[in-house]
Structure 1
Amino acid sequence: MANPVAELVFIPIPGVGHIMSTIEMAKVLINHDERLSITVLLINPPYSAFALTTYIKSLANKVMEMERIRFIQLPQDKTPPNFDGKAPMTSFNDYINSYTKNVRNVVADIISRPDSNPVVGFVLDIFCISMIDVADEFNIPSYVFFTSNAAFLGFKVYIETLLVQNQDVIALSNSNGEMVIPTFMKPVPTNVFPGVYQIQEGLDFLMHSVRKLKQVKAIMVNTFMELETHAVKSLSSDSTLPPVYPVGPILNLDGVAGKTDKSDVINWLDGQPTSSVVFLCFGSMGCFTEVQVKEIAYALEKSNHRFIWSLRQPPQSEKSFEVLPGDYDDPAVVLPEGFLERTAETGKVIGWAPQVSLLGHEAVGGFVTHCGWNSVLESLWFGVPTATWPMYAEQQMNGFEMVVELGLAAEIKLEYKNNVFNPEDDMVIVTAEEIERGIRRVMEDKDLRGKVKEMSKKSRETVIEGGSSYNSVNSMVQEFISNIT
């Protein structure tokens, strides 16, 4: 094997969905061309998240495990930014920027080593976009790996255009209207806009990040042409943007191997009929009040469908960035009396879920999801139709795209928004009737199931040699190699 000749520096943010898909993107590039090597710079999470912190430390220790990928855990500032009195977006941005000098030091060290390969690019998460300035100091080109979808990227770009035109985006976002956005074929209701972009602080950050985005050499998006044809073509025709490459689906499918460990939940699934189980899972930050938990339980009983429910306990602190949801010692404390006994044969209530292993199991026939983009792509890969229950960030727009734009999902409640750090703030309760209706549709609608199966086939074809995403990755590799001077 030839020695690598080009080095890339990846900088993901310390969020589960972002960091895992970034590492998978690195693996795809490495597997695509042996002339590349990658250094991933790991930022510590600014909140108490034992699982994520442990995961990051485990990566930092994998010096030899992944050929041509190495991980460097960046040292944390002795005096981290003060979050008190600041809005979450500003706090998080300040936190990421506090790592700038550490990134500068690591890159300087890489370049100064006599045996080092030329650094041909920074590959940045959209939330690390300020690191472009560090890359510029070293005359290294920057790229973005956008971990969400093309339609949402287009939303951010369009909103920045409106801000430049001095339009009152806050008034538009908080109205009960619709907006025509170039990357969507259908008008988008303003009530599915992310809450953070309905306040000035969020819009300021959006404007900053899109302006920086326009300075990079190319944007890789975790999507595929066959899924988001209109959105990708729309972005590609925008002369203000760098070239856009759909490179997905980029997935961490290692969890499928977990089927062999025969955990209790897998053992139980092995005994269920094909496509008979609905799986409910709401991501690393998804949790509900006791009132809402009971509504879900009532819906599951009334639907008469088998189920696996990943039920998480809300954070035990009201401070943002303090802790994430955890598992209940005894979920019976929030469930209707007798629920566990009545559903002992037909369902399982668990804590954290091995999501990929469960979606890949033939007994799972439907997925009630928070619409995180990784979860959407995983469900499409395995051909499991989704019922959408978005909570935060861009998930409402993901849900809208899947249900209304693409017809690939059933709706539970698209405009639902959840304060993930303090669910008690949420006054909207999704009723058992709404939940049951979504479960029945996702489990019983044959047309929906057929469309999802067809998209599953396309998602697998696009990443193999000759597929559209495979070709996009090839174009990116040629771009990186051409930066060697």
Structure 2
Amino acid sequence: MATTNTLATAAELVFVPSPGAGHIFPMLELAEQLVNRDPRLSIAFCLMKMPFQQTSNYDFQPSASGRLRFVDLQPTTVDPETPPTDAFASFIDGHAPQIKEAAASANNTASSYRLAGFVLDMFCTSFIDVADELGAPSYVFYTCGATCLAFMLHVQSLFDRGEFDPDELKDSDAELAVPGLRDPLKGKQLPSAVVQPDWLPALMRHTRRTRLAKGILVNTFHDFESHAVASLTTGQTPPIYTVGPIIDLKMKGDRTAGEKEIVDWLDQQPTSSVVFLCFGSMGSFDEEQVKEIAAALEASGQRFLWSLRKPPQKGKSEFFPSEYDDVKEGLPEGFLDRTAGLGKVIGWAPQTRILAHPSVGGFVSHCGWNSTLESTWFGVPVATWPMHAEQQLNAVMLVKELEVAVEIRMSYRKTSGEVVPAEEIERGIRGLMAAENEGRRIKVKEMSDKCRKAVEDGGSSYHSIGRFIEDVITD
């Protein structure tokens, strides 16, 4: 028994996600997989709270084995005079003493513990310095895909040589060859993340530091991004572990009353007949764009389930949309009455439950990476409408590289203020749900099968996670 306990606590990893559900939950899912996979591993999972939060938004419980525990970090103070482009980095970096303490306490919890390393979110690379101080290796968990990683590494090289000017490229048809893509990327398809000059230096700093990690865990699977993965395994970057898709397959939590109503409505619809519109945790539109979406849905005659969120108030500090007291507030007058037998408008959406439902036949998506993996897992074809971050790159990959999606507009950026007209949206919805899309639908189903096989015993991601565990244990 003593030997078993020693093995069970042989190696401690410190996980540090960025605050925000899109970063916390994939890292938590990975942590759970690791401790369930190998009894020699234990994990201290550090949770940051944004300055306006008194308590964590999440009530995480330690694992029954005790090998996954949660460390609640106290929010750090940021000088109010700090420019917005530096404030988030300052907030993250201010946690360094607490991160170091969490790692040190891991070593002191029991004599059999050994600090085996840090697994750091892609925006927490400053803590590589903490790991170096403690003589522990660092691994970066990349919550985006391999295509994005290859793109960012390439742009960082160009940027450091003074050869990347987003202002010159961002609205043009000029082409940029990218190692992770088979075909060049047009300037107007550049991701939102790199066309904002104020934010670009911070992104380049994180990308530059990612090269210092001992390894990079990427939330993807080999068959999904084989070209991009190959471009990352030339010896010019740290070792790559493709560990995805890491998504909430268990669909944790009890159904709320609103969720039950959604599922009950879907139960009444024919198989593959509903188009689902959802634009992520930051996805919302102003009144003019909502009118265009509503007009497109009405003209298409397509069954729909639309997640409509209330935009943040202009001039306020909030960044995320909220819920309408009544969705009628955000919709054109009479829209709900005219489409009563056809569709349903909701607020927050239980996305994985919806995508898993057999009545859902298409997904109008912002192409966030978690949503991209979820739609692939459930075999639901996508119509692309990217908005923020790296989403334009994901859209190009889905439409052009894999040919598993149709386009509404791949070059859309929320910050541009442009309005996509109803005719364009309707055309995308019709193309998504039409019988002529059967070829793409078959490709999506085939990729779904590969996605599921990747995480099974013997699959590429299962093997990659095993390789990571052995590298950590034997280091």
**TM-score normalised per structure 2:** 0.93
Paired with 2:36 and 2:308, the residues of 1 have a C-alpha distance of: 37
Counterpart residue number, 2:337: 341
Cα deviation for residue 331 of structure 1 reads 1.7
Cα deviation for residue 123 of structure 1 reads 0.2
Secondary structure in 2 matching 1:127: coil
Cα deviation for residue 319 of structure 1 reads 4.0
Alignment of 1:356-435 (within 5 A): 356-419=352-415, 426-435=416-425
What code does the residue aligned with 2:36 have?
N
Alignment of 1:54-453 (within 5 A): 55-56=57-58, 58-59=59-60, 62-64=61-63, 68-77=67-76, 80-84=77-81, 86-88=83-85, 90-115=86-111, 117-174=113-170, 176=172, 177-237=174-234, 239-255=235-251, 263-316=260-313, 318-320=315-317, 322-419=318-415, 426-444=416-434, 445-453=437-445
Cα 1:295–1:124 shift into 2, 3 Å: same
Deviations 1:140-197 (A, max 9, x none): 1000110100011011100111123222433453351110011110111122223342
What code does the residue aligned with 1:269 have?
L
Cα 1:317–1:109 shift into 2, 3 Å: farther
Paired with 2:155 and 2:419, the residues of 1 have a C-alpha distance of: 30
Paired with 2:120 and 2:41, the residues of 1 have a C-alpha distance of: 17
Cα deviation for residue 254 of structure 1 reads 2.6
Deviations 1:383-430 (A, max 9, x none): 0001111111111111111111211111111111114xxxxxx53101
**Is 1:482 the equivalent of 2:474?**
yes
Cα 1:362–1:123 shift into 2, 3 Å: same
**Is 1:45 the equivalent of 2:83?**
no
Paired with 1:365 and 1:54, the residues of 2 have a C-alpha distance of: 36
Given that residues 192 and 414 in structure 1 are in contact (C-alpha distance below 8 angstroms), is that contact kept between their aligned partners in structure 2?
Answer: yes
Cα deviation for residue 334 of structure 1 reads 2.5
Cα deviation for residue 115 of structure 1 reads 4.0
1:463 corresponds to which of 450, 455, 470: 455
Cα deviation for residue 455 of structure 1 reads 0.3
Cα deviation for residue 255 of structure 1 reads 2.1
What code does the residue aligned with 1:193 have?
L
Paired with 1:214 and 1:100, the residues of 2 have a C-alpha distance of: 20
Give RMSD over aligned pairs: 2.0
Report % sequence identity. Answer: 46
Deviations 1:418-462 (A, max 9, x none): 14xxxxxx5310111111111111112111111100000000001
**Is 1:10 the equivalent of 2:9?**
no
Paired with 1:370 and 1:140, the residues of 2 have a C-alpha distance of: 38
Secondary structure in 2 matching 1:327: coil
Given that residues 159 and 169 in structure 1 are in contact (C-alpha distance below 8 angstroms), is that contact kept between their aligned partners in structure 2?
Answer: no
Cα deviation for residue 114 of structure 1 reads 3.8
What code does the residue aligned with 1:411 have?
E
Cα deviation for residue 92 of structure 1 reads 1.1
Cα 1:333–1:24 shift into 2, 3 Å: same
Cα 1:81–1:29 shift into 2, 3 Å: same
2:35 corresponds to which of 21, 30, 33: 30
Secondary structure in 1 matching 2:116: strand
Counterpart residue number, 2:446: 454
Cα 1:458–1:256 shift into 2, 3 Å: farther
Moved over 6 A (4+): 259-262
Counterpart residue number, 1:423: none
Paired with 1:478 and 1:171, the residues of 2 have a C-alpha distance of: 45
Given that residues 442 and 448 in structure 1 are in contact (C-alpha distance below 8 angstroms), is that contact kept between their aligned partners in structure 2?
Answer: no
Given that residues 324 and 330 in structure 2 are in contact (C-alpha distance below 8 angstroms), is that contact kept between their aligned partners in structure 1?
Answer: no
Aligned residue pairs, count: 466
Cα deviation for residue 214 of structure 1 reads 1.3
Given that residues 110 and 116 in structure 1 are in contact (C-alpha distance below 8 angstroms), is that contact kept between their aligned partners in structure 2?
Answer: no
Paired with 1:258 and 1:181, the residues of 2 have a C-alpha distance of: 43
Secondary structure in 1 matching 2:341: coil
**TM-score normalised per structure 1:** 0.92
Cα 1:67–1:413 shift into 2, 3 Å: farther
Cα deviation for residue 85 of structure 1 reads 6.0
Secondary structure in 1 matching 2:387: coil
Deviations 1:18-70 (A, max 9, x none): 1111111111212221211111100112456x9xx6533x02xx134575211
Cα deviation for residue 260 of structure 1 reads 10
Cα deviation for residue 76 of structure 1 reads 1.9
Given that residues 296 and 423 in structure 2 are in contact (C-alpha distance below 8 angstroms), is that contact kept between their aligned partners in structure 1?
Answer: yes
Given that residues 162 and 169 in structure 1 are in contact (C-alpha distance below 8 angstroms), is that contact kept between their aligned partners in structure 2?
Answer: no
Secondary structure in 1 matching 2:18: coil
Paired with 1:126 and 1:403, the residues of 2 have a C-alpha distance of: 26
Secondary structure in 1 matching 2:194: helix
